[in-house]
Amino acid sequence: MIFGRGRLPAAVAAFESAVRAQDADAAEKAFGQLTGTVGKAKDAELHEAGPRLAAVLSEVPPGPRSVVAVVIGACVERGADPAACAPAVLTAAREAFEAAAVFCERWAAAGRGELPSHEGEGLEEADFERIGFEPVMAWQSLPQYEMACVAMLNSPAVRRNTPGRAELREAVARVQALTDEPFKCLAYALVVLDDEPFVAIDRATGTGFALRGSGIGDNFQLHTLLADALVGGGHLPGEAPSAEAVAMCRDKPGQTPTTGSFNLVGADGEWIWNEGNPSDIPVVDGVRLVVLDPPSYQRSWPAGRFFPGMTGELVFQRVLAPQESAALLAQVAEPARR
């Protein structure tokens, strides 16, 4: 979205007043001023605007509500308090996904065939009456809500303390089940783990390592950080990822090529695919258990963060006592044949 020049505080005040007065004409005018000024606003103005817009978000009509959520997300990305903004945005997103599921069900019941695009391609005027205005608007708003929610969930404070994540996750899953759209960014953001205990066990030697991870968006990122902690830390042989690759998996912008150090296997004997995320890894005795095998083939990928705005971390804690590793390894199924 491209925003023009202007003064944000006055636009926010006008928008607040119009929304609370339910003055549609004034709200439409103020909405145009709002979206036309936020892009060139100063950081201090955005810090104030985000929570103020979040406070009226539930009163904004369904049409522009998702765009206002994106504006709030832009404020958070520039330093507005995510904890103050997130509850309203996540609630609005949940309501939109719930209404979008109704849209999908009614669309199918009407025999309309392939779902329309979120931009409206495939929608007919009669669909608004047949299906309902709010479900239609909700369907069209989902990409905006995905963007706004990820901006909120980049914050560890939001991921740890903001209620409603489970309900939003259920609403997203329902829409996923009714469509062929993965909403992958939002689905992954909603299951990011924080302060999560991991244990990695080298199958060849039986040596286990305790680690703790936060803000890791996918298993490509996990794999790189794990190789840095264990190979780069001198605990296992092999070629460690470069310092640049590790930094990009933590908080440095960009991506750089790296090569896999392990084949990752879960306690169920199944491969832990890099394309998945850490929440998929089976838990054993309260920890995400990863068994390390030699790579079955050389695999390279661009090291970096699945969520560029989210800081990732995997901290090495200790080498497990041999009996601890043996007890965990005894619970690991035989590797699935490939």
Burial label for 165, CB within 10 Å (0-12, 13-18, 19+), is buried
| DSSP reduced 3-state for 93 | helix
Return per-residue pLDDT of the chain as tens, 338 residues.
334 445 899 999 999 999 999 999 999 999 999 999 998 999 999 999 999 999 999 999 999 999 999 999 999 999 999 999 999 999 999 999 999 999 999 999 999 999 999 999 999 999 999 999 999 999 999 999 999 999 999 999 999 999 999 999 999 999 999 999 999 999 999 999 999 999 999 999 999 999 999 999 999 999 999 999 999 999 999 999 999 999 999 999 999 999 999 999 999 999 999 999 999 999 999 999 999 999 988 899 999 999 999 999 999 999 999 999 999 999 999 876 65
Domain assignments of the chain as residue spans, ordered by start: 8-189, 196-329
Kind plus residue range of the DSSP H or E element containing 3? none
Question: How far apart are alpha carbons 284 and 16 in whole angstroms?
Answer: 50
Q: Which residue has the tokens 């601890």?
A: 324
Task: Using alpha carbons, select from 173, 176, 179 the residue that is nearest to residue 191.
Answer: 173
DSSP code at position 236 = S
Q: State both tokens at 159.
A: 């991921």
For residue 192, what are its two tokens?
């990011």
Quickly count: other Cβ atoms within 10 Å of residue 187's Cβ.
15
Count Cβ atoms below 10 Å from residue 149 Cβ, excluding itself. 28
Report residue 225 CA to chain centroid gap: 19
**Total-model pTM:** 0.93
| Cα 314 from Cα 212, distance rounded (Å) | 6
Write out the two tokens for 26.
């004034």
Write the CA distances from 148 to 151, 191, 206, 273, 311, integer angstroms.
Answer: 5, 16, 44, 28, 18
Contact call for residues 48 and 60 (beta carbons, < 8 A):
no
273 contacts 290 by C-beta, under 8 angstroms = no
CA distance 153 to 310: 8
